[in-house]
Structure 1
């Protein structure tokens, strides 16, 4: 929107009149929309997002006067929904926020409904990298803020990634990860090239999950990786609000591997051409997990390998008979809903890798770094 835009957050109200009514379709004037400013438009969590009412007029007459005038653009969004889950923080807010606001070069102000202070503290380098201005708590704001431009809600292209062919055109996930490395002052832009640096061991980071989807034979995996020539680091990457600490662990690494989980979101801190290995547990979740981390990895100019375990590599065989639908008909578990699917395949399941079967994956990762 461009024109006379008046925002009264406490009333969840945005009033808009174009500078030139002839530039706006008559059918879009004197109209009211109710918008939920959160990126996951077709998800059940939208029911938890506060409504914002947008009203358009040919001219703004008999409306609240501006109490604060701004010369920059405004973007209104919510950080509610699934935020608090590390992957969703990026997928639902941070990547869409980058897509929506990068073009303003910081000359934009964020007005946030259902604002969680911890979110803006946790991701302060990203937020301040996109806006030079104070974040306004939309719901508590009693003043009428006036802007020449405004965007209500955020663009989202696909899971945890950016499509350069979609508006605003030209941005890519490589742009996003470069931005992330800059804002977190990460020094390594490219993974090691073994051919040019034969004396350097590539660093392999194994995400050491501690509660669910645990890699139960991690010590043997470490030994095998070291035998193949890797320098191995094990870390759960769970730093709570201290994202910078996780970023500093990840960025020096050339390969990152882990059983599916939010910890893999830290691939945003890897240098370009690094290798990501996602271990997919049982449950016919391979396509979903590929969409969540495989596609984004490739869009970030990372190499991606997906290892799908066999029944013998799952600890579910110690909990259920082999003729149980959990093994014979996973889609029947899917039909019971996400809570049951998650309980069985994500909460109850740990992984014991078949070292003979997994070894070629590490060898392929090493070969990627030789190219």
Structure 2
């Protein structure tokens, strides 16, 4: 399929869709630093693009089968002022996108819409904002399905996001949700969403499931021998992941099975509550949700906090190292690289959804 990447950021949608076999025909992003990374990472030569969606005309857009967009969440997130996506200046850009669709003839409209946002979109303003979203999509001809997915299913980071798929009526599109992982289908929740959050042992309420029938095996996730806390010795630098989640916090390879303490840390010096009031997780838990505001690290067994590097944060979002290297070599500062990781979507989650999207 051909897709347009809107509110593109550094191209998490682009990479995930591309990995699933789809082709980018256009992208829109206003932040100059995100554009710098996007152009360094992706092959965009000759591809239509724009910097401000508010100035784009529908007639300018290339024909596409899918529009992908994670419209700004600052007015919706629990970390923001929660003005809502209709009253908030940034999140109301959702209606800028639907306005472009209204200006297109039906035969030119995308068959799919793939939309991402924070989970709070379901409940903000007592759920009325999400109802308005559904009404708006219905009025422009789209039937919708949605699911709350947790990045911890595919990367060691707890990051719940709502994904909405719009299907243009009359087109033969394929149902996307529920996502099946390893021949397991997640349970339906009462709010008609699904969750891919992995729970070990007894199921934790509606929407969760038992992912393993036996205790997970401890495996090495990487090695921190290059950090100053280990003095270059590879033995104490080894990091182990008892949950069996795929490694992303590695800096080099290593062997052995000696368990280590690796505790995710989020902004321990922040006085106000964040991430449900927690600062430290348990050994082996997925990392806190990456944000552009919080600072993330790990507490090692010598009780010292090591800040995550920008590369590690990109890994937690599922970006391959070559993508990070291209952005870094393009001259982006560490602060921008941290911010871009926190604002991105998780690439493997997008790929899992995109693999379910096809046209006859």
From the CA coordinates, give the structure whose radius of gyration is larger: 1
More helix by share: 1
When normalised by structure 2's length, the TM-score is 0.31
